[in-house]
Amino acid sequence: MNQPDSQFRDDVYAIVAQIPRGRVINYGSLAAAAGHPAAARIVGGIAHFGNPDLPWQRVVMKDGGLASGYPGGLEGHKQVLEAEGIEVSDDYKVNIKELLWLPPDPNQNSLL
């Protein structure tokens, strides 16, 4: 596999910027949408050190778990998601099946 590069980071940024309020994406799906399905951990690093103006609170683990590395830890992550109207369980998880957002496939014609 080719290693992700700065274009990958830019693609991750562009996708995160599109995540609608009240929805989430997981690290693996975000990595796949940016062209590197095996780069979920790299996405985590991008999230941790990336542009703070993006809605990183909308990126969660594959089981809907919140990120302990989020500013303020799990509780901080929970608070910002709840402020957007997303329900977070006592064990710091969101309903990933209900809330998962995936970007539109650029190779698919939405008029078909």
Whether 62 contacts 96, CB under 8 Å: yes
- Give helix then strand counts, H and E, for the chain: 5, 2
CA distance 89 to 94: 6
Model confidence at 105: pLDDT above 80? no
Q: Domain residue spans in the chain?
A: 6-99
Average pLDDT, the chain: 92
Task: List, in sequence order, every beta strand (DSSP E) within 6-99.
Answer: 25-26, 59-60
- Directed axis angle between helix 40-49 and helix 6-18, to 10°? 80
Q: Which pLDDT belongs to residue 109?
A: 53
Note the pTM of the prediction, 2 decimals: 0.89
CA distance 23 to 59: 9
Q: What is the pLDDT of residues 27-81, one digit of tens each?
A: 999 999 999 999 999 999 999 999 999 999 999 999 999 999 999 999 999 999 9
Higher pLDDT, 2 or 5: 5
CATH for 6-99, among 3.40.50.2300, 1.10.10.10, 1.20.1050.10, 2.120.10.10? 1.10.10.10
Q: How far is CA 38 from CA 28, 67, 71, 87, 112, in A?
A: 7, 19, 25, 29, 30
